[in-house]
Amino acid sequence: MYAPILLFVYNRPEHTRRVIESLQTNAEAIESRLFIYADQARNETDRPNVDEVRRYIRSIGGFKQVTFIERSENWGLARNIIDGVSTQVNAYGRVIVLEDDLVVSPYFLRFMNDALETYKDEERVGHIQACDFTKDPSLPDTFLIKWTGSWGWATWARAWRHFNPDGKALLAQLEERRLTRTFDFNGNYPFTRMLRRQIAGKNNSWAIRWNASLFLAGILSLNVGKSLVQNTGFDGTGTNCGGGGLYASDLWMHPLPVVPISPIAENQEARRAFARYYHRTNGFWAKAIRRIKRTLRGDFGA
């Protein structure tokens, strides 16, 4: 059974074309249902590009079936993803999720479907992530970790039931169980701060709540050491992406076998690799140098 693909788009026609065209290079596309969630314009400035995206997606082929969900009002990414994943994962039991600023390898769908099938009955695995931005050569081709990436991912209905949209409740549990430092990769990345900002209305991240939900439940993610996804959204067109080349990935253009991992346990070496990466890229001096470079080239944004 091929999992349905959920694609969330808004006002970036060129990005949308690239992700669709990259999906069409996958042999499994023709056997896969594609659900495209197109959000409505937030304002009149965005409307021309929103309309162009909607015209384009009505013209695509190369999939078993294409279904369009065109919002009549602006939902925002978080509400769209939570609603879309909830609807389709309950209908089909499993889903593959993409946003419009991603490009995938020709072997992305094969890997995701193989992984969904391999771990379908393993309650301790709840998420599959096909993007690696660490470029750490010590990482194996696949490994298990208590962390969920949101750039090209998949899950099952049994795992999505753990999703708690209440950030305040999630934060309370992390603090009560004294897990905030571990959640932050030993203090090397401010995931807890991101959750606090979501609670305060300073971001609307669904991903931080999904990450915290599975982390608190002790559920692992299957991750890759060779990236089948690239994020192309660091070009100033996105709402929630920053960092330039900080999270760039090299696209792996070959099959990536799914070999069952035993025992089912977090790979501690992989966790240390992520902690090293975040320490190197998010420490005080790394941030200071990036800010100086942005200032020198005239970029005075946050």
In the chain, % of residues over pLDDT 90: 87
| Residue reference for tokens 């690696």 | 132
pLDDT at 278 over 70: yes
Q: Using CA atoms, how far apart are residues 302 and 288, in angstroms rounded to an integer?
A: 12
* Tens-digit pLDDT profile for residues 171-188: 999 999 999 999 999 999
- How much is the pLDDT for 1? 86
Query: What is the rounded CA–CA span in Å between residue 95 and residue 3?
Result: 5
Average pLDDT over residues 16-30: 98
pLDDT at 300: 47
Q: Domain-by-domain residue ranges, the chain?
A: 5-162+219-296
Residue 116 pLDDT > 80: yes
**Alpha-carbon gap, residue 2 to 126, rounded angstroms:** 18
Positive or negative torsion for Cα 210, 215, 218, 223: positive
Q: Does the pLDDT value for residue 297 go beyond 90?
A: no
Two tokens, residue 174:
């992390």
Fold of 5-162+219-296: Spore Coat Polysaccharide Biosynthesis Protein SpsA; Chain A (3.90.550)
Q: What is the mean pLDDT of the chain?
A: 92
Residue 36 pLDDT > 80 = yes
C-alpha distance across the termini of the chain, in Å: 45
Of the candidates 281, 282, 268, the one whose C-alpha atom is nearest the C-alpha of residue 138 is 268
* Sequence-separated (6 or more) residues with CB below 8 Å from residue 196: 171
**Does the pLDDT at position 16 exceed 50?**
yes
pTM of this structure: 0.91
In this predicted structure, the answer to whether residue 213 has a pLDDT above a threshold of 90 is yes
* Of 233, 227, 272, nearest in space to 249 by CA: 227
Q: What pLDDT score was predicted for residue 241?
A: 46
Residue 62 Rama label (left phi>0; alpha psi -120 to 50; beta)? left
Longest CA span, the chain? 54
71-96 mean pLDDT: 98
Angle at 167 (CA atoms; ends 165, 169), nearest 5 degrees: 100
SS3 291: helix
- Per-residue pLDDT at 295: 53
When pLDDT is cut at 50, 70 and 90, the band that residue 249 belongs to is: confident
Mean pLDDT of 193-215: 98
SS3 assignment, position 13: helix
The identity of residue 109, as a single letter, is: L
In this predicted model, what pLDDT tens digit does every residue of 117-166 receive, in sequence order? 999 999 999 999 999 999 999 999 999 999 999 999 999 999 999 999 99
Residue 302: the pLDDT is 43
User: Is 139 within 8 Å of 273 (Cβ atoms)?
Assistant: yes
User: At residue 243, does pLDDT exceed 60?
Assistant: no
Q: CB neighbours of 110 closer than 8 A, spacing ≥ 6?
A: 26, 27, 28, 255
pLDDT at 240: 47
